[in-house]
A and B are shown apart, each in its own frame.
Chain A
């Protein structure tokens, strides 16, 4: 009787592992993105990503379209066109991808992970 129970737990464990959304490598990259967020973004967009009193917009979205993601990449890199809008943030390509992946996959957000090749295609727009 004991062996079937152990096997059941083993199967459940394997099932849970396979359900993980991110690989350990992806999780490590998201952790780096969190550090970039803490350094450059948290003061205005807040620890919960919900912005501050309307002055700084919420980063929580029901979904991330390609346009939303490309806009985010461009605003971080070049700043907002609005006079009192967000200033450009000096980030390497690697940091830019890490922080956008973190923002788009943290709190209630969910989106496919970007790579640096996505970044290059976004820049062509």
Chain B
């Protein structure tokens, strides 16, 4: 066990955990941020996606010991009141079915639009390929990302 300082959603936290503890379990068990979901545990499904320095990273595999000096954003910190353009588009298009994978989908989509404000359908498919949805909401996800891109540009 060791003490680690981490910056999550703009707030500094101190946690006592093993250095190889995945970020996902620090978020969920230590910081009680339950928006980030456990899916496969091997970085294959995307349900646990958070932003680390703005990049979409699977929290289930990222050890806390590698987080020094990095800025973590979870779904809770994407927007204070849930009005990020991607979140609004998700509501407008009514994207979720069961909803389990959606926080990961939204985090990946938000990071994509930060890197590429007007992605083509191919860009969206390429960026979202690592986020699985067993309900098959992919067409609505793509539509919502296009919608969010338009909102951000206007």
Contacts and interface: CB of A to CB of B under 8 A. Distances in A.
A and B from one complex:
yes
Contact of B61 (A32, A35, A39, A44): A44
A39 B62 contact: no
Interface in B96-129: 111, 115, 123, 126-129
B6 to A, nearest CB: 16
Nearest to A47: B55
Contact of A52 (B42, B53, B55, B63): B63
A38 B127 contact: yes
Contacts of A95: 126
Interface string B52-68: 11011110011101100
Q: Is the interface of A mostly helix, strand, loop or mixed?
A: helix
A90 B129 CA distance: 9
Contacts, number: 49
B56 A38 contact: yes
A88 to B, nearest CB: 10
A87 interface: yes
A40 B57 CA distance: 9
Interface in A4-38: 32, 35-36, 38
B55 to A, nearest CB: 6
Contacts of A35: 123, 126-127
B145 to A, nearest CB: 14
Contacts of A53: 19-20, 63, 65-66
